[in-house]
Amino acid sequence: MTTDTHRMLRLEVRNAATPIEDKPEWMKNTAHMGENFTQMKKLARGKGLHTVCEEAGCPNVYECWQDREATFLIGGDTCTRRCDFCDIATGRPALMDILEPRKVAESVRELGLRYATVTSVARDDLADGGAWLNAETVRAIHTINPSTGVEILVPDFKGDPDAIGQVIDAKPEVFAHNLETVARIIGEIRPAFSYEGSLNVLSQAKQGGMIVKSNLILGMGETDAEVYEAMCDLYDAGCDILTLTQYLRPSPRFRPVDRWVKPKQFVELAQQANEIGFLGVMAGPMVRSSYRAGRLWARAMKKAGREIPAHLAHIADEGSALQEASALLTRQHH
């Protein structure tokens, strides 16, 4: 057993000493099953298609699928790194499936998606960190589905400019890499990542002409002042789109929830982010980094004064965003 494995087990034992927390009232979600959702669910089941939305039990699947947006996980179901908030298995991954990009692209076509988010496990076992797989998946989706927008959420590729450049060259609509937390505690929560390293990935993507996106998870031990500092650092690194989310503990093995951030606080943080200058902000306790991603991309493009390509104009239609903190507050007051 390696030193890292021993450290991981000690951490999980310590975490498990704290029982799973009760969720506050505003974290409880109501499902609304529209016609598109029902069609997509039937298709996904019938074709054996795999989306993160269903497999991770995302509470927003009803709303996103109704607007024909979905998220796919590539690179397998095992990550070479462990983060203390993420329940994807850590270990030695299976061999890379070189047919996976085509399979994902065909799934996008089967589901009739307007916008697809693709996220990858870290693949430190591969020489390029999985860069080819990420880039090829973007290319395959665009080739088979020319009217579908693609957002790619990548690991840090250890900051390798060649790997990052491969993904940029594939021309996704959005290049995303999630910072997730603040400088003081990132070493505890994401020991295989670094704060400056993640900011550097975003800067490289910005220099490559990308619309750049990142995420911060709240409730893991950060302060409001540190969140503001992280938002400023993200903006300075070239981040255009920011999502702010509430940490939900997957099981007792993971980091206990430090605080439940109220919808009103999320509204205030979103206002701060807009004042800092982000082109698109989505904040709320039930928001996830890929939530309403197409709508957020279109919002950022408009604010930047960039023309939305004609073949993607349909994404700019304003869909709902029920989990935005401002919408939650409005519903609470009715």
Instruction: Enter the tokens of residue 111.
Output: 């589901």
Q: Is residue 326 in a domain?
A: yes
pLDDT digits (tens, 9 = 90+) for 19-64: 888 888 887 766 677 888 888 888 878 877 777 787 777 878 888 8
What is residue 24's predicted lDDT score, i.e. its pLDDT?
Answer: 86
What is residue 57's predicted lDDT score, i.e. its pLDDT?
Answer: 72
List, in sequence order, the alpha helices (H) in the chain.
Answer: 3-16, 35-47, 52-55, 61-66, 100-111, 131-144, 161-169, 186-189, 195-207, 224-237, 263-276, 293-304, 325-332
Instruction: Enter the tokens of residue 195.
Output: 């704060």
Number of domains in the chain: 1
Q: DSSP 3-state assignment of 121?
A: coil
Q: Is residue 308 in a domain?
A: yes
What is the span of the domain harbouring residue 48?
32-332
What is residue 30's predicted lDDT score, i.e. its pLDDT?
Answer: 64
Q: Is residue 4 in a domain?
A: no
- The enclosing domain of 88 has a CATH number of 3.20.20.70
What is residue 45's predicted lDDT score, i.e. its pLDDT?
Answer: 82
Q: Is residue 73 in a domain?
A: yes
Answer whether 0.75 is exceeded by the pTM.
Answer: yes
What is residue 26's predicted lDDT score, i.e. its pLDDT?
Answer: 82
> What is the Cβ-side half-sphere exposure of residue 221, based on CA atoms within 13 angstroms?
14
Residues annotated in the binding site for [4Fe-4S] cluster, as ranges? 53, 58, 64, 79, 83, 86, 290
- Rounded to the nearest 5 degrees, what angle is found at the Cα of 226, between the Cα atoms of 288 and 298? 35
Residue from 264, 306, 314 nearest 285 by CA: 264
User: What's 56's DSSP letter?
Assistant: T
Q: Is residue 206 in a domain?
A: yes
Q: Is residue 7 in a domain?
A: no
Do the beta carbons of residue 211 and residue 278 sit within 8 Å?
Answer: no
What is residue 58's predicted lDDT score, i.e. its pLDDT?
Answer: 80
Q: Is residue 21 in a domain?
A: no
Q: Which residues of 316-329 are buried (b: 16+ CB within 10 A; e: fewer)?
A: eeebebbbbbeebb
End-to-end CA distance of the chain: 56
Instruction: Enter the tokens of residue 240.
Output: 């255009």
227 vs 179: CA distance, rounded Å: 11
Q: Is residue 1 in a domain?
A: no
Residues annotated in the binding site, as ranges? 53, 58, 64, 79, 83, 86, 290
Q: Which residues of the chain register pLDDT less than 70?
A: 1-6, 8, 29-31, 317-320, 333-334
